[in-house]
Structure 1
Amino acid sequence: MKKTLCLLFLVSILFGCDDMSMTINLSLPEHETLLVVNATAEADNNLKVYVTNSIDPLSSDFFEYIDDAVVLLKGEQLLDTLMFDSIKGYYLSNEVLEGGKIYQIEVKYSDFSTVFSEVYVPYAVQILAAELGAISDYFRAFEFKIDDPLAQDDFYLLRMKGYIEDVGWEGLWFESSEPSFDNKDFWEESFDGRKILFNDQLFNGTNKTFYMDIDYWEELDSVKVVLHTVSESFYKYHMSRRLQNQNGPSEILGAEPVVVYSNIQNGFGVFAATAKTDFIITTD
C-alpha cells in the first residue's frame, strides 16, 4: 500500500511540474541618459572627438552621433572650438597637440549635463636599437631596446609590421615570453597582426631589451616595430574593455559584470592620449 501511495505521489509531481521554467520579476532603476564622449589625443596630430549618448541596456535602439554639440579644447586657455565632420562622424580640432602638455575637453549639448575631462599627452619613448636574429621555420628572432623614463609610471602599446613590395605595410604576428607581457592581453587581429598593452612596472627607469619571435617569410623587405606611449586612461580603458569581453555577456544570475573605465565627468567614455615612435630595419 505504501509503495502504491509513493508511486502516485511521484507521478502527480512529474505531471504537475511539466513547466520547470521560473519567472523572475526585477525592479530596475530608470536609465539616465548621459553624454558619451570618446577621444584620443595623439601627439603631433589634431584631436578627434566622438559624441553620442548612452542607451538603456535593455533597449534595442542604436546609437547615433550627435552633430550639433559644442566641443571645446582647452589648455591653459581656450584653444579651439571643434567642427563636426559629417562624413567621418567626429569633431576635429585645428590645433595640433604636443607631447608633455595637459589638455581639457568640454562638451555641451541640449539639456544634458556638460561633460569634462583632461589628459596628459606623454612624450614618445624612443627606440634605441633593433636587431633581427636567426630564422626558425616561419619565425625570426627579433629584439629592440628602449630607455624607459625614471620616476614615473609608463604604459605602452606595441605592434609589429612587415613591408612587402607592391603590397605595403602589413601587421605581423609575434610571440614573446617577456614577463611584462600578459599573454591574455594580446590583441589578435588577422587583418592587422598582433598588438599588446603593457606597463613598465618590472623595468621602470632602465634600459630595457624586449625579445620576441615574429612572423617571417622571404618576401619581407623590412620590419617595423611601432611603439605607442599611452596615457594611464588609455591603458585602464582598454584593459577593462578586454576583461569585459573575456568574461562574455553578463547574465542576471551569472558572473559579476565588469565596469569599463571612464574618466568623463558627468558622462561616459574616455579621454586618452598617445605618442608614437617606430624603428625600421631591413631584412638583408
Structure 2
Amino acid sequence: MHKSSNNIPQQAFDWYDSYAHGGMDRRTFIGKLGSLVALGYSMTVLTSALLPNYALAEQVSFNDSDIKATYANFDSPLGHGKGQGYLVEPTNKSGLLPVVLVIHENRGLNPYIKDVARRLAKAGFIAFAPDALFSLGGYPGNDDEGREMQKSLDRSKIEQDFVAAAQFLKAHQRSNGKLGAVGFCFGGYIVNYLAAVDSTLIQAGVPFYGTPAEKSLRKNIKAPLLIQLGELDERVNNTWPEYEQDLKAFNVPYQIHMYKNAHHGFHNDSTGRYDEANAELAWQRTLDFFKLNLS
C-alpha cells in the first residue's frame, strides 16, 4: 500500500529545498526521492506534493471585476536596461492608493506570484510584480528552466532592476507615495535589500523566509519590517539571530512571526509545502501591516 502525501518525511522537503536553491541538480533530487519509493511511497505522490502545480494557485481570477491587470515596462539603467512587470489596480477605488511591490522567488514571475499581486489589488492596493527574467524573454513557463535562467543573470543587476521597479511604482500616477514590498524566498531577500540599500525607498517590508541584506547595508534600514518564517526552514532561520541583533542595534521597528511546523515556502499554495492555516494567518497579518504603515 502506497503512503500518502500527508506523511512524507521531512527529509524529502529538505531535499526539495536544496534542489530549489541550487544545492543539488534535478537528477540527484529525483534519485533521492527514488530511495523513498522503496519504502512504499509513490513517486507520483512525492513529486505532486513537492513540485508546483500552478493550476492550484489562483485565489483571485484575472477576470475579477474589482481589479484590472496589465503589464508595464520601466527603465532600469543600473540593471538590465529595461524591466517589465505585472501591474494590478483596484477598479472599485478612486483617488490615490498605497502601492506594493511583489517579488518572486528564484525562478521568475510564475502564476503564484501574479495571483499574490491580484490578491493585493483585491484588498485595495496597487500591486506591481516585476519579472527578473524579462531581459531573457520572461518567465519560461516552468520553474526548472526559470531557475536556471535566473541563476545565469548578474545578481547585482537583478537587485538594481528591483530598485528601479520600486522607484517606478512609487511614482505611479495613482500612488499615495507610500511603498510597501512583499517577497518570498529570493524575493524575501530582495525586500530586506530594498529596505537596506536606501532608507527612504520603502515604507514597509514583509519578507517571507528571506535572508538578510549584506551586513554593511543594514545600518540604513528605517522601514518597519514584518518578518515571516517557517519553523522547519532551517537554512533561512539560521540567518535570523544575527540579523535580529542588527535590527535591534539600529532601532529598526520589526515584528517576527515563526509559524509552527511550517516549511520554507509555506505560503505558496501550488505545492505540498503549503500550510493553509499558517498561510492565511501570515497573509492577514501582511495586509494589516500594510494598511497600518501605508495609509
State the TM-score, normalized to the length of structure 2.
0.24
Greater relative contact order, per chain length (Cα 8 Å cut-off, separation 6+): 1
Higher relative strand content: 1
Bigger Cα Rg: 1
State the TM-score, normalized to the length of structure 1.
0.25
